Amino acid sequence: MFNVVAGLLWLPLFTLVVLYYRYQYKHRHWYQLGTSKNILIVLLYSTASAFLVTALMIGITFPLFWDEVKQLEAVVKQQATLTDITIQHIIGNTLQTQLFISGWIFIYISITTRQRIKETELTNLRLQNSLKEAQLSNLTNQLNPHFLFNALNNIRFTIYEDQHKADSMLTALADVLRYSLESSKYSKVRLEQELAIVNRYIDLIKIQMEARLVFKLEIPEQLYSYLIPPMLLQLLIENAIKHGIDNLRAGGTVLVKAEQIQQTLHFYITNTAPETADKPAHNTGIGLKNIGQRLILLYGDAASFYITQHDDEFSVHLTIPCEKDE
């Protein structure tokens, strides 16, 4: 009966002790301390609280069973006094209680530490995603004016020569801008959507350049459902025309090819370029730089972007992982 009553008293006292530790752990921010300091705190707290729990438990139970305790003293008075029995009882129960309290605290610290690590990782992932979205938005905001300036500049030269052509160019430009603004809400679009606006853009440019521009598109239809960053091909084609074909009196050819190799999409954009010994036909201005940055943000090391020039040919080789729009 003594053990039953002592156990019933011990459980709520133990619960109060560990709950109080949990409160102090959070309120005093002990989780910010180093491992050695935390261990020292746990040992000191468990020792003091275990002694307190045992003292309270004995202080309550011994008076309830005083007659039995006296009988026990009479039986063992040859070996130990009542004081000895009490001290032994206190030491034994204190060590046992300290073991339980320390075990509970270490388990609690372990669980809460894992939770904080997971929360920190989730917070870091959210911050990284927010940063990527902000960077992508910033790049898009740079690319849209870049494209708009080039298109309006072309229309400005055309409007004095042929107003009908200029009107058709403005209509095509409106379609391209509408797509640019709508697609900027998404990090990726279907290749089919991108090619539709590429063709609209080529219609816009051909009104001005006429036979000087030969455009070839060699992309299998089975690739149309794959996802790519919006305005990616359009900007590469625009770059090829502006810095390549536009600088050739007789014009030239822009060839866009694509193929799937295992789980990677390969795009090849090739254009005729002026033969210049002093500087390359293309620069690495805002268009190509931003394309490279967008690929890094969206795909990391899974994407690649290579630029080469041989004599009168400029090439861009672009690879991205295969992602299908189901």
- Enumerate the domain spans of the chain: 2-123, 161-321
Instruction: Give per-residue pLDDT as tens, 220-240.
Output: 999 999 999 888 888 888 888
Q: Kind of pairing, strands 313-321 and 304-310?
A: antiparallel
Instruction: Give per-residue pLDDT as tens, 137-184.
Output: 544 554 455 566 767 777 887 788 878 878 888 888 888 778 777 766
> Helix 66-76 crosses helix 82-159 at what angle (to 10 degrees)?
120
Q: Which of 231, 298, 230, 226 is nearest to 260 (CA)?
A: 226
Least confident among 47-51, 53-57, 276-280: 276-280
pLDDT at 126 over 80: no
Instruction: Assign domain 161-321 one CATH number from 3.40.50.300, 3.40.50.11540, 3.30.565.10, 1.10.540.10.
Output: 3.30.565.10
> Helix 82-159 crosses helix 2-27 at what angle (to 10 degrees)?
30
pLDDT at 259 over 90: yes
- With 0.75 as the threshold, say if the pTM is over it: no
